[in-house]
Chain A
Amino acid sequence: MRRALSNPMAFGGFLIIAVIMMLALAAPLIAPFDPEAIDVKSILLPPSSTHWMGTDGLGRDVFSRMLFGARVSLMVGIVAVGIATLIGIVLGSISGYYRGWVDVFIMRLVDVMLSIPTFFLILAVIAFLTPSIWNIMIVIGLTSWMGVTRLVRAEFLSLRNREFVMASETLGARDGRLIFRHLLPNSLTPIIVSSVLGVASAVLVESGLSFLGLGVQAPQSSWGNILTDGKEYIEFAWWLSLFPGLAILITVLGYNLLGEGLRDALDPRSSN
């Protein structure tokens, strides 16, 4: 961990994410207004000392909505990637450990999933369900496990023939012990890196869906759906578009820096 954060990229990313997480967690405490409270007397006000980021078309305080939107982004990112990583670890372990026909089957399933344009797949599923934050998290999770699966499988295949694993096997270790004691812990680094990078893309997908009106639904705020309003009022209210876009940019940048930094710091091969 210390080695990981001594990498300046990883540290910068970590700092960004930590600040955003704290703001999101403290949202109910620091938000100056109720994010969903409509105030017809203060519609489309530019940023000022009362409304730091202005107000939207319904007079709601944008800064408060941004804070609560941060919670959505973080939650969707982390839960969706949690689901994807879990599926990836299970399928990848089975595939890489037992090989044979299960491996062939799982790898073909990965190929099939990869051949359907992901954004189409997500939208199609959402068309059949009602859009809500839970459905979004589940759908993103269920459509983004392929990378982790391939990764875990590849790690297992290369670790399987290493001396320490064979030694343990010779001593009579069972499948479970081999997988959980030896193979998984030694595959952890690439899994963590790909999860962190996965959160970045999940945040982008969620904000895109919410922007298109197919994600988090009003009155609940998300950076994506604040931007939908921004599009509506782009000629009169720049603040509605600028702040949520910057927030998404900075958050995604933070996860990407953290992920790439961790990769450089923990994987000696990649530091060329």
Chain B
Amino acid sequence: MIRYLLNRLLWMVPLLVGISLISFFIMHLAPGDITATEASFDPKASEESRQKLRELYNLDKPVIVQYGLWLKRMATLDFGTSFASHQRPVFWQTTDEQGNVRKGMIQQALPVTLLINVLSLVLIIAVALPLGVISALTRNRAPDRAITFFVFIGFAIPGFWLALMLMYWTGVANNWLPISGLHSIGYENMGAIAQIFDTLKHLVLPVFISGLSGLAGISLFVRNGMLDVLHQDYITTARAKGLSENTVVYGHALRNALLPLITIFGLSIPGLIGGSVIAESIFAIPGMGKLFYDAVLMRDFPVIMGILTIGAALTLIGNLLADLAYAWADPRVRRGVMQ
């Protein structure tokens, strides 16, 4: 297992180098000097931010030196400070001479996005697994048709539109759920349980929206996985042994159909993180997606580059965890690598 882990970690090195190159390339996308794209009506402010960009990314130095310095920033996770007037550190908190701590922007936004994504995954597992199994067991009959119809709609429905509709229906027309932000007014004065309840109420819609397409995908995946597995010889054997249908379906078939799900979850991480932009900006949730969107609108380059890098790093970590979980669950994978 340890050798497998080391092996996997080693594989991440070329990926990290690639990510650094791509982000460096994006930094130099704009024609000529990247500072030239800074569109501002105030020539003084614009000149100032140009100067800041030049300093931040050392744009007056040779390209190779710039890249080296960018690598150093990535390695030390130091993405500088935001261009916005508050000038907060992009990634993690800093302490100045007076001992004042300034929280990092990603530091504050990341837990929110992770919470939403973890809750979405829980929702996906809780709903998609039963749907997929029911669909497979009632193949081509009414329940399966209904679920497949739902899956196709789930794939095709634009999340931001559904978000708008639900916002209108549950928030504006009926006042059942709060429609923006993470906390109600007066959150500070609530008791601990009321606080948790309040936050959860704010998270219902965002979690549903960010989980929806995953939900459709995983249902379909579980259905097809189950159908494949149910045709295997060992299922026939299990039935022939006289095991009950429940033991066959849930003990033998489902367990094997679920294995590839681990990998699918790993692969779905970049989509979930990227998808947070839409859900979070519609519901004004202060997570990574909203932070990124605001940064794009403001052309706040240090924040953009920081989130891009951290997002990629999260994906790599997620894939690593998924691979390890797979290796833990399926000894064939471990052995295959060890030989």
Contact = CB atoms under 8 A, between A and B. Distances in A.
A266 interface: no
Nearest to A109: B18
Given A116-B311, A249-B161, A111 B293 contact: no
B119 interface: no
A124 B304 contact: yes
26 contacts: A111-B15, A116-B23, A116-B311, A116-B312, A117-B274, A118-B274, A119-B275, A119-B277, A120-B273, A123-B277, A127-B304, A128-B29, A208-B160, A208-B278, A211-B158, A214-B297, A231-B164, A234-B164, A241-B168, A245-B164, A248-B158, A248-B161, A249-B153, A250-B156, A252-B157, A253-B155
Interface in A177-212: 200, 204, 207-208, 211-212
Interface in B160-219: 160-162, 164-165, 167-168, 172
Interface of B: 14-15, 18-19, 21-23, 26-27, 29-30, 34, 37, 152-153, 155-162, 164-165, 167-168, 172, 224, 227-228, 231, 267, 270-271, 273-275, 277-278, 281-282, 292-293, 295-297, 299, 301, 304-305, 307-308, 311-312, 315-316, 319
A55 interface: no
Contact of A256 (B14, B152, B274, B295): B152
A257 B156 CA distance: 10
Contact of B308 (A111, A121, A200): A121
B315 A128 contact: no
A124 B308 contact: yes
A212 B129 CA distance: 33
A241 B277 contact: no
A171 interface: no
Nearest to B29: A128
B168 A234 contact: yes
A232 B155 CA distance: 26
Interface SS majority for chain B: helix
Contacts of B26: 121, 124-125, 128
Contacts of B27: 128
Contacts of A15: none
Contacts of A245: 158, 161-162, 164-165
Contacts of A123: 277, 292-293, 296
Interface SS majority for chain A: helix
Interface in A102-127: 108-109, 111-121, 123-127
A176 B274 CA distance: 39
A69 interface: no
A127 B296 contact: yes
Interface of A: 108-109, 111-121, 123-130, 200, 204, 207-208, 211-214, 227, 230-231, 234-235, 238, 241, 244-245, 248-250, 252-253, 256-257, 272
B270 A118 contact: yes
Contacts of B297: 213-214
A238 B172 CA distance: 12
B153 to A, nearest CB: 7
Contact of B156 (A235, A241, A249): A249
Contacts of B278: 119, 208, 211-212
Contacts of A207: 158, 160
B56 to A, nearest CB: 15
A113 B224 CA distance: 28
A241 B165 contact: yes
Given A111-B15, A123-B277, A118 B296 contact: no
Contact of B155 (A126, A234, A256): A256
Nearest to B14: A108
Nearest to A104: B14
Nearest to B220: A260
A118 B271 contact: yes
Contacts of B308: 116, 120-121, 124
Contacts of A111: 15, 18
A115 B293 contact: no
Contacts of B160: 207-208, 211-212, 227
B277 A120 contact: yes
A116 B311 CA distance: 7
Given A123-B277, A200-B155, 17 more contacts: A112-B14, A112-B19, A115-B15, A116-B19, A117-B270, A117-B311, A118-B270, A119-B274, A119-B277, A123-B292, A125-B29, A204-B158, A214-B296, A249-B161, A252-B155, A256-B155, A272-B231
B281 A212 contact: yes
Given A117-B270, A256-B152, A129 B30 contact: yes
Given A115-B316, A119-B274, A256-B155, A241 B293 contact: no
